[in-house]
Amino acid sequence: MEAGSRRLAHRGEEIDFRRLLWVGPLTVVTVAVASVIVRTISVTLFDITPDFQPLTLRPVVVSSVVGALGATIVFAVVGRFARRPIRLFRIIAVVVLVLSFLNPVVALSDAGLLMILTLEFMHVVAAAISVGLLTTLGRAE
- Residues 100-123: tens digit of each pLDDT: 998 877 777 777 888 889 999 999
pTM beyond 0.85: the answer is yes
User: Residue 1's pLDDT is what?
Assistant: 43
Mean pLDDT of the chain: 89
Confidence of residue 9 (pLDDT cuts 50, 70, 90): low
User: Is residue 17 predicted with pLDDT exceeding 90?
Assistant: yes
**Is residue 3 pLDDT above 50, yes or no?**
no
- Using 50, 70 and 90 to split pLDDT, how confident is the model at 8? low
pLDDT of residue 6: 45
At residue 48, does pLDDT exceed 90? no
Residue 126 has pLDDT above 90, yes or no: yes
CA distances from 16 to 4, 63, 102, 139 (A): 13, 26, 33, 6
CA 21 to chain centre: 17
Q: Are 105 and 117 in contact (CB under 8 A)?
A: no
Question: pLDDT value at position 125?
Answer: 98
- Is the Cβ–Cβ distance between 89 and 29 less than 8 Å? no
pLDDT in tens, 76-108: 999 999 999 999 999 999 999 999 998 877 777
Banded pLDDT at 5 (limits 50, 70, 90): very low
